[in-house]
Chain A
Amino acid sequence: MSIFRKLKEHITDVLYVWRQEMKQVIRDEGVLMFLVIVPLGYPLLYSWIYNNETLHETPVVVVDQSHSALSRQFINDCDATPDVDVKYYAADLDEARALVSRQLAKGIYLIPSDFATCINRGEQATVSVYCDMSLMLAYKAVYQTAMVEAGRLSAGLKIKKAGNYTDHENSITAQPLIAHDVAMFNPSGGYGSCVLPAVLMLLLQQALALGIGMSAGTARERNRNGQLIPDDDPHYRGAYRVAWGKALCYGMIGAVAAAYLSMAVPRMFSFPQLADGKTLLAMLLPYTMACIFFGMTVSCLVRYRENVMLLMVFVSIPLLFLTGVSWPQSSIPGAWQGVSWLFPSTFGVRAFIRVNSMGASVSQILPEIRILWIQAAAYLGMACIVYAYQKRLARKHVKTVTNSTDLIEPDDQ
C-alpha cells in the first residue's frame, strides 16, 4: 500500500469516528446536558451567588459599661464603617451572648466601665472583642473594624495631647510614616472575582471529562458485549485514529465552551478581565486538549454512565483546592503538590488567573503552558494505550461471559 493511500485511509477513519461520536453526543440527552447546558448555565448560577462579592454590615452587639462620650464615639465610629453594623445594645455579656446564640449578632464589643477614666488618667484602655468564629469573613470584619477604630481614636488623642500648631504637624504626629495599602488585581477584595475564574476553568475540565465519560458509558451500554470500542467496525481499527476522531468531536465543543467561559462570562458579571486574545489562545489551546485527552483516559474507568458523575463530584472541590486559589500554593503540602501535577486543571486555572485577572503575558505563564502541552501529549499517549487495551479486551471478549458482577446485564438496544 502506498503511503498516500495509507494516509488517506487514516484520515477517512479519523473523520468517520468524528462523525459517529458527534452523532452519539447529539442523540444522548445526558451528554448534551453536560457538554452544553452545564458550561452555559452553571457559571451564571455561580456568578449570581457570588455577585455581592463582599460581606457588609456584619451585625454586632455592644455592651457599653462606660457610658461616656469616648465610648459613644468609639461605638459611632464602628457603626459608621461599611463592615460593621451596631445592631443591638445589651446590658451585660450574658445578654449579648444570648443574642449571638440566636444568630442575631456575629460579635460582641465590650467597653469596660473604666474605659474613659483610664484614657483621661493617661493609662491604656481596653475594649474586649468577642468573635463568633464560625464564619471567617464575619470574624475579620468584626475584629479588624475594632482594630482600625481603636487606632483612629488613639491617634486623635495623641494629636490633642501634642499641642501642635498646624494640620501638617498633626498629621505627622498621627502618622510619622505613611504607608499606602494597595490591593492589586482584585482591588475590592471580592470573593467572586477571586474564585470565579478558577471555577470557570475547572468547569471546562469537569464538563469535558463528564461528557466524554458519560458518552463512553453510553457506548459501552449500547454495545452488545459491553465494550467501549466497537469490535466489528473496521473504521475503529487503530487506537490512535479513535483518539483523534473523538478529540475532533470534543475539540469542537470544547473550543466553544472555552471561549464562552473565558470571555463571555467574566464580562457579563464584570469580573476582572485583563486578558488579551493571543495569550488566552496560547493557554486555552493546550488546556482544552489536555482536558479532552484526560477525559478520554478517565472514560475507560466508566462502566455505567451515571458513575462518572459521582467520580467528578468527588474530585471537584479537592481539585479547586489544589489549584491554590483558596489555599495559597506555597502552603500546599509537597505530597499534594505532586498529586496536583496529574490534573490539567491545576495549571489551567493558575495560568488563566494570571492571564485574566493579573494581565500576565505569554512569557510569564510559560512554565504552565509547557506543562499543559506535556500533559496533553502524555494523556494522548495514555488514551491511545487504554483504547488499544480496550480493543484487545473486545477481541478476547467473545469467549468470556460479560461481567458476572454486573447488577444486571447492560441491555442492548
Chain B
Amino acid sequence: MKYISQFFDIVLRELNIIVRKNRIYGFCMVVFPVLLVVFFTTMLDDGLPQDLPIGVVDHDNSATSRSLIRNLDAMQNSRVVYRFASVTEARNAMQEGKVFAYLYIPEGTAAKLMAGRQPDISYYYTMTCMTAGSMASKDLKTISMLGSAAVGQATLSAKGATKEQIRTALQAVTIDAHMIANPQGSYNYSLTTVFVPGILMLFMALLSAYALGMEMKFDSGKEWLARAGNNILVAILGKYIVHALVFLLVIFSYQYYIFNVLHFPHLGGVWSIVRLTLLQVAASIGFGIFAISMCGSAFPVAGMDPPLQAMSWLFPLRHYWMLYQATVLNGFPVIDVWFHLVALVAFTLLPWFVLRKVKIAMLNYVYIP
C-alpha cells in the first residue's frame, strides 16, 4: 500500500514537470511527433516520384524519334520538359539541376533502323539523387526496348506472323511480378514506417536520458528519491510510466492514422501492431535510462558523444524494424524473428542493471555546466 501511494506521488510529480514546468517535453512528446507524421505522409503522398523532368536531344527529327519522345513523355514517372540543341547544353541543364536525365537520338537513327544497320541511341541520367536517377533510367530503358520491339514487330507482321507469334518472338519469357504487401511499390509505405518510428524511438531514448540528466542538473534527484521512499525501483517506474503512457498514446494515434485512414498495408493485423508498439516504447525508454547512466554519469546528455547517440538509437531501431517488416508488414509468424523480440525485451530490462548506479548518482552528483 505504501508503495502504491509513493508510486502515484511520483507519477503526479512527473506529470507536473511535463505539463507545467519544462515545455520541451510537450514539444518532444506531442508537437514534434505530429509534425513528423504530417511531414512524411504529405511529402511522400505520391508514393512514387512522378513526372520527373527529362530533356531530349533529337538530331534525327524523324517520325520514329518523335514517337520515342512522345512515348517517353507519356510514361508515368517522366515528363519531357526541355528540347536541347546539343548534348553540351543538356549536360549543363543537368548540372544546373533542371533535368534528371536526357535522351540523345543522333542523326540518321530512323534511316539506319529501317535499313537494319543497328543505330545507337544513348540516355544519360544522374545518380546524385538515386530515386530520381533510377526511376528515370527505368523509363528510358523501357522506351529504348520498345523502339527495338517496334522494328521486330513491323518485320514479323510483314512476314505474316500472327499476334501470338509476334509476342512470343519478341519476348519468349515474361516476368510476372508479385510485390508482396506493397503492390504499388510506394515509398510512402516503406519510408514513413521507418523514419517516423525511428525518430520517435530516438526521442524516447533521448528524453528518458534527458529526464534523468535534468534531475541531476537541478539537483532535484534527492527530493525525487525521498518522495519514492528511497526506493529507486518505485522512483524509476513512477517517473517513466508517465513517459511511456504519453508515447503509447501518440504512437497508437499515429498508427491509427496510417493504417486506418491512409490504409498502409499491414498483413500482420492489429495484435502484431499492439505487441510491437508496447515493446518499442519499453525498449527505447529502457535503453535511454541505461545509456545515460553508462555514458552520462561523468557529464550529462549534452556531453554524450553524438556518434554514440546515433548508435544508441540504431540498436533498438534495428530490432524494431526487423519485427515490423516481418510481423506487421508481411504477417509472418513471430517465432521466425524471436531473436529481435527477445532483444527488445532485453533493452526494456537494461535499467535493472544500473538501478544502484542511478540511485548513487541522484544522491551524490554535482552538475558542472
Q: Which chain A residues have a beta carbon within 8 Å of chain B's beta carbons?
A: 28-30, 33-34, 37-38, 41-42, 45, 74, 98, 100-103, 119, 122-136, 139-140, 143, 146-147, 150-151, 153-154, 157-158, 161, 171-172, 175-187, 189, 191, 193-194, 197, 214, 218, 221-222, 304-307, 309-310, 313-314, 317-318, 321, 324-333, 335-336, 350, 353-354, 357-361, 364-365, 405-408, 411, 413
Contact = CB atoms under 8 A, between A and B. Distances in A.
A361 B135 CA distance: 27
Interface string B125-166: 111111111110100110011011001100000000000110
B300 interface: yes
A330 B174 contact: no
Contacts of A74: 173
A140 B120 CA distance: 27
Q: Which 8 A-B pairs have the closest CB atoms?
A: A179-B144, A134-B325, A328-B132, A133-B182, A186-B127, A101-B332, A180-B122, A408-B218
B229 to A, nearest CB: 22
B109 to A, nearest CB: 8
15 contacts: A103-B336, A122-B168, A124-B172, A126-B173, A127-B173, A127-B175, A136-B187, A146-B175, A175-B148, A176-B113, A306-B210, A306-B301, A318-B40, A358-B128, A408-B220
Interface string B211-225: 001100111100000
B287 interface: no
Given A125-B173, A306-B300, A358-B95, A177 B369 contact: no
A135 B325 CA distance: 9
A103 B127 CA distance: 30
B177 A129 contact: yes
Contact of B127 (A100, A126, A185, A318): A185
B185 interface: yes
Interface string B178-216: 111110010101100001000100110011001001100
Contact of B24 (A123, A128, A310): A310
A338 to B, nearest CB: 13
Contacts of A408: 218-220
Interface stretch (B43-51, B230-238, B252-260, B356-364): B43-51
B130 A333 contact: no
B63 interface: no
A336 B131 contact: no
A195 B95 CA distance: 17
Given A194-B127, A318-B39, A321-B43, 15 more contacts: A33-B302, A42-B310, A103-B337, A119-B173, A131-B177, A134-B326, A172-B118, A178-B118, A179-B120, A180-B121, A309-B206, A310-B207, A327-B131, A328-B135, A332-B43
A310 B28 contact: yes
A129 B43 contact: no
B340 to A, nearest CB: 9
B169 interface: yes
Contacts of B24: 304, 307, 310
Sorting the interface of chain B by its residue count into under 10, 10 to 19, 20 to 34 or 35 or more gives: 35 or more
Contacts of A179: 120-123, 140-141, 144-145, 147-148
B174 A126 contact: yes
A368 B81 CA distance: 21
A305 B302 contact: yes
Contact of A177 (B96, B144, B165): B144
B18 to A, nearest CB: 11
B32 interface: yes
A213 to B, nearest CB: 11
Given A102-B336, A157-B172, A134 B36 contact: no
B86 interface: no
A153 B199 contact: no
B49 A326 contact: no
A102 B53 CA distance: 41
B355 to A, nearest CB: 23
Contacts of A321: 39-40, 43
B332 A364 contact: no
Given A181-B137, A354-B95, A331 B369 contact: no
Contacts of B145: 151, 179
B299 interface: yes
A325 B128 CA distance: 7
B264 to A, nearest CB: 12
| Most chain B CB within a 10 A radius of its CB, from A102, A328, A361 | A328
Contact of A153 (B28, B40, B122, B172): B172
Nearest to B51: A330
B246 interface: no
A124 B220 CA distance: 76
| Most chain A CB within a 10 A radius of its CB, from B97, B125, B336 | B97
Contact of A154 (B125, B126, B172): B172
B329 A189 contact: no
B172 A336 contact: no
Given A37-B305, A408-B220, A139 B179 contact: yes
Contact of B130 (A41, A153, A189): A189
B155 to A, nearest CB: 9
B263 interface: no
A172 B148 CA distance: 10
B320 interface: no
Contacts of B175: 126-129, 143, 146-147, 150
B199 A180 contact: no
Given A171-B118, A331-B46, A358-B95, A158 B151 contact: no
Given A139-B179, A189-B134, A305-B369, A326 B173 contact: no
Given A102-B336, A131-B180, A147-B175, A182 B42 contact: no
Given A124-B167, A129-B176, A150-B174, A183 B369 contact: no
B172 A125 contact: yes
A103 B95 contact: no
A124 B171 contact: yes
B306 A180 contact: no
Contacts of B170: 154, 158
A42 B306 CA distance: 8
A34 B300 CA distance: 14
A329 B97 CA distance: 9
B28 A183 contact: no
A30 B305 CA distance: 9
A328 B52 contact: yes
A178 B121 contact: yes
B21 interface: yes
Contacts of A180: 120-123
A314 B199 contact: yes
A404 B322 CA distance: 46
Contacts of A329: 97, 129
Contacts of B206: 309-310, 313
B141 A328 contact: no
Nearest to A128: B176
B329 A336 contact: no
B307 A41 contact: yes
A314 B32 contact: yes
